Amino acid sequence: MNKYIYNIILLVIAFLLLPLNANAFIVVIDPGHGGKDYGALGVKAKEKDINLSVALLLGDMIKNDLKDTKVVYTRNSDKFLSLRERADIANKVSGDLFISIHTNSIAKKAKNRKTISGASVYTLGLHKTEENLEVAKRENSVIELENDYSTSYSGFDPNSSESYIIFELNQNKHIDQSIEFASAVQDEFIHTANRKDRGVRQAGFLVLAATSMPSILVELDFICNPTQEKFLNSKSGQKKLATAIFNALKKYANKYNKTIVTNTNNTEITSTPKQTKEIKINDIEYKIQFLTSSNIINKKDKRLKGLNPVEFYKENNIYKYTYGSTASWDKALSILNEIKAKFPEAFIVKFKDGKRIK
Ligand SMILES: [Zn+2]
């Protein structure tokens, strides 16, 4: 093709895409569970329905009030979706923020099952308490309803506490923004929706680990407590909860939705949460950790899913497998994105002079 015509076509395409990329702040709303996956159950209500109602109300508020913000739902009807599919939707649209909406519950035999109450907002990390681990286990265990979950989540066992060690070292570059947004939502849950404060917490949620943007998971309140179930299942309760998230989002989006800033060289650069961090370090090496094992794995082991070449280092008698090596944080991120399709819980680890550092 004539080079001149080719360049013109490229320019036209770039102009057509420009408004889509530059202006919209994209919020991905993820109502937990759906279809055959009911989530936690109350006497009458199902978690999947409460999550969806609050999600749709929140989406409507955003569409009506925040013109520069685009809403993408992982589901807007009663259907089953894998955790991977939810994260894929968010990553594909390059979301600026991911909000997973859930309703809490505790074990049937727990003595305080009918009295426990309160809202909490989670970000990805290692649980500090057994209670937080239990919440992550319950929410992650939905992968057991997926076909072939043990291969799609590289052997992650949602019910085994040991699996959760991978979240200990999770270096998520969006963690500061995630916590900032989580705190704002928690604050609104208390003051706007009058929920009891159970705080901002961390735990290893697969759906958060697989999204590459600031992300939170909210537990609205406890469906196992009949009083809270009533609130959660009422239109007015759902409206209060959606308003709470909306208020926090409005502040957050206003802060991060300033797309154009001018730097000292007078060239325009975009400044959104998507902007990658620049880190200048010597002798630092980034690798992508994607798997741990109590013994050395054969190169052809199917757990490696054909990834080659791989390396490992040993820590606390556990072999930790890594892929790739680069001195550039940006490059590490793009390698991470590449292999996240196969290993959603993969994360970046940092080495100095061949030794793992934190
Ligand atoms: Zn849930």
Distance 212 CA to ligand 1 centre (A): 20
Q: Model confidence at 356, in pLDDT bands (50, 70, 90)?
A: confident
Top-confidence residue, 220 or 294: 220
Average pLDDT, the chain: 86
CA angle 97, 98, 102 (to 5 degrees): 145
Architecture of the domain spanning 24-256: 3-Layer(aba) Sandwich (3.40)
* pLDDT tens readout for residues 265-324: 333 333 333 333 323 335 688 899 999 887 777 777 888 888 888 888 888 777 888 998
The answer to whether 24 touches 94, Cβ cutoff 8 Å, is no
- Among 21-25, 89-93, 274-278, which is the least confidently predicted range? 274-278
- Predicted TM-score (pTM) of the model is 0.69
Distance 51 CA to ligand 1 centre (A): 8
The answer to whether 132 touches 202, Cβ cutoff 8 Å, is yes
Mean pLDDT, residues 151-180: 83
Distance 315 CA to ligand 1 centre (A): 33
**Residue 65 predicted with pLDDT over 50:** yes
| Total Cβ atoms within 10 A of residue 313 | 16
Distance 100 CA to ligand 1 centre (A): 9
Closest listed residue to residue 93, CA positions, set 167, 31, 26, 165: 26
Distance 80 CA to ligand 1 centre (A): 13
Q: If one looks up domain 284-357 in CATH, what number appears?
A: 3.30.70.1070
Cβ contacts of 28 within 8 Å, gap of 6 or more: 72, 73, 74, 89, 90, 93, 95, 97, 98, 99, 211, 213
Taking the C-alpha atoms of residue 275 and residue 270, their distance in angstroms, rounded to an integer, is 7
The residues spanned by each domain of the chain are: 24-256, 284-357
Distance 103 CA to ligand 1 centre (A): 5
Return the pLDDT at 11: 67
Do the domains at 24-256 and 284-357 have one common CATH topology?
Answer: no
Distance 217 CA to ligand 1 centre (A): 9
